[in-house]
Amino acid sequence: MLELLLATALKDSLKELYNLDIEADKSLIQKTKKEFEGDFTIVVFPYVKAARKAPDVVATEIGNKLQEKMADFVTADGVHGSLTSFNVVKGFLNFSVSSDFWLDFMSKNINNENFGRKTEIDEQPSLIEFSSPNTNKPLHLGHIRNNLLGNSVALILDACGKHPIKVNLVNDRGIHICKSMLAWLKFGHGETAETSGMKGDHLVGKYYVEFDKQYKAEMRQLQEQGMSEEEAAKKAPLMLEAQEMLRKWEQGDEEVRALWNKMNGWVYAGFEQTYQRMGIKFNKTYYESNTYILGKQLVDEGLQKGVFYRKEDNSVWVDLTAENLDEKLLLRGDGTSVYMTQDLGTAQLRYEEFHPQKMIYVVGNEQNYHFDVLKLVLGKKLGKEFGNHIYHLSYGMVELPNGKMKSREGTVVDADDLMDEMFLQAKESTEALGKHDFTPEEANKLYEMIGIGALKYFILKVDPKKNMLFNPAESIDFNGNTAPFIQYTHARIKSLMRKAEENGIVLEATTDASLLGDSEKALLKSLYAYPQVVEAAGEGYSPALIANYMFDLAKDFNSFYQASPIFKEDNAALRALRLRISQMVAMVLKRGMALLGIDVPEKM
């Protein structure tokens, strides 16, 4: 990497010039802004005090020394070049790299299967948990962001050599599950996924909504009889029955467990269809019904160590007030577990199975407190070293133009319905562009690729930490910062390649650096940045960096294509060079979009 070479040369230069010691940090080397001449920039202000000279003098001295040291260099991946010139703008030192460097860079990487990927794989895996659905409802828009973010981060970590293991934790037990089960028993009349014609997860979700409807009716009736809202919420018969069902489940009651197995089976079949359509696969799936018992054992361990305490009602707590938090419930008085109980057990189980260097949890920002507690309880209170290596990848909420969603009230946008809508939007938008020569089967495959790609890109291009508004129509725009725009750019380049082949044009490499104009060099510089973007996305767990780089690269190519006609060019060597650059752009677009879980078509 040239940046590391420059950083090392900068370190040596500062030592020689000013007896100043710094680390050879590649982040000191920045990409020169488009409005200035140069390829790379060094900010010299941090060195002015040690040099005791004006910024422009310091920049000039460093520039001369660097140019001397790098008159002829070879990067770690074997790319040759030199620093040809530099200029100084108010303490900013801008360097230009020789044109033969950019040609050599393309020549060595245009067919490099590992371009943008690290080939050295960490022995210790990085474990990443995402999805984490409840078995009382189908996956919805919020789950889509979770799944797409988790899956993309895993793909990016894989490209960074981090050996990711994708895991899912299914919340298959608890009071919310019992609500759906109880509502089905009371109001379902034996309805099944087969008899209803509904996906199993949608069917179970229907009864979760029905429970809430009937429960609220009971609450209103009790309030009319003089109870307060809080008291009515606790004493409504349906809620008491659901709590009793949960106790029976934890005691292993055969009838309750049989019903639980049957309804969860419907849900799992429905989930799998949704995951397949989103392109999601897991290395392992955990179930809360298996891990909460181990969590209870850790609670007992904490009691024995004296770091947890039991209240008069038999509930177990941990006091985190010294850590600027509060007291946290770990086990209810009736012995039933809470989310924290099973998360303790799951973390312990995963550590024993995989010994990961890091456990990454992709969970919405409403759970920030929960994961602060989890890390403290495991690491500081229980003394589990792996607790200190938990990372909460917190992300913002997704809303639609018509507002927030609530599962229990049935106002969510189901993932399946949204993907169906995206397919129809893609079909409508694509057909509006004009004629095509696809068979019906090919056309449907293309609409699915465009629709699901648009959904994924629109979600992933936003910084994970930010809340976002998802607009299906806006995500399909073929001219905006969207997947269809990038997919169309890829298809356009593939069309150019087919035309070149049909016309017998051979894409021979050239060593004639004089052929490189500003537009060709600008595009090669954009391509050069790809591995660094992947690395930064891996370090920051941010697919948004790759998504927006993809958009910029597609924009840069389209500007290049308009400014530098290919087939109208009479110079055969320059025509071949432009086609080779285009070919490499297509390669990077395909690989970068793949890290977002998005396919790109060969033609559109």
Whether 23 contacts 80, CB under 8 Å: no
Q: Is residue 119 part of a domain?
A: no
Q: Do 577 and 460 share a structural domain?
A: yes
Asked if residue 83 is part of any domain, the answer here is yes
394 and 314 in a single domain? The answer is yes
> pLDDT at position 400, please?
74
- Tell me the two tokens of residue 384: 């589990």
Residues lower than pLDDT 50 in the chain: 404-410
Q: Are strands 73-74 and 80-81 parallel, antiparallel or unpaired?
A: antiparallel
* Axis-axis angle for helices 254-278, 237-250 (nearest 10): 90
Residue 497, domain extent = 416-594
Which pLDDT does position 402 carry in this prediction? 65
For 394-435, what is each residue's pLDDT tens digit? 999 888 776 544 444 445 688 999 999 999 999 998 888 775
Task: Say what the pLDDT of residue 435 is.
Answer: 59
Helix, strand, coil share of the chain (percent; to 5): 60, 10, 30
Distance CA 21, CA 30 (A): 20
Contact 170, 290 (CB under 8 A): no
- Quick one: 80 and 9 in the same domain? yes
pLDDT of residue 409: 46
Task: Give the CA count within 13 Å in the CB-facing half-sphere of 248.
Answer: 18
Long-range contacts of 402-407, Cβ-Cβ distance < 8 Å, separation of 24 or more:
405/140, 405/141, 405/142, 407/137, 407/140, 407/205, 407/208, 407/209
pLDDT of residue 411: 54
Q: Any idea which residue has 């037990």 for tokens? A: 173
Residue 515 is classified by DSSP as G
Name every residue whose Cβ is closer than 8 Å to that of residue 250 and which is 6 or more positions away in sequence: 335, 336
Biggest alpha carbon distance in the chain?
Answer: 91
Q: Which of 556, 563, 564, 565 is nearest to 588 (CA)?
A: 556
Residues 575 and 500 in one domain: yes
Task: Give the pLDDT score at 249.
Answer: 93
Domain boundary among 282, 298, 317: 282
- What is the pTM for the complete model shown? 0.92
d(CA 363, CA 131): 8
| Any domain includes 103 | no
The per-residue pLDDT for 412 is 67
Q: How far is it, in rounded angstroms, from Cα 485 to Cα 467?
A: 24
Please report whether residue 114 resides in a domain: no
Q: Which of 282, 304, 336 is the last residue of a domain?
A: 282
Residues 212 and 136 grouped into a single domain? no
Number of domains in the chain: 4
Has residue 493 been placed in a domain? yes
Burial code (b: 16+ CB inside 10 Å, e: under 16) for 103-119 equals: bbbbbebbeeeebbebe
Residues 84 and 147 in one domain: no
| Residue that is last in its domain, among 263, 282, 301 | 282
Pair 493, 534 in one domain: yes
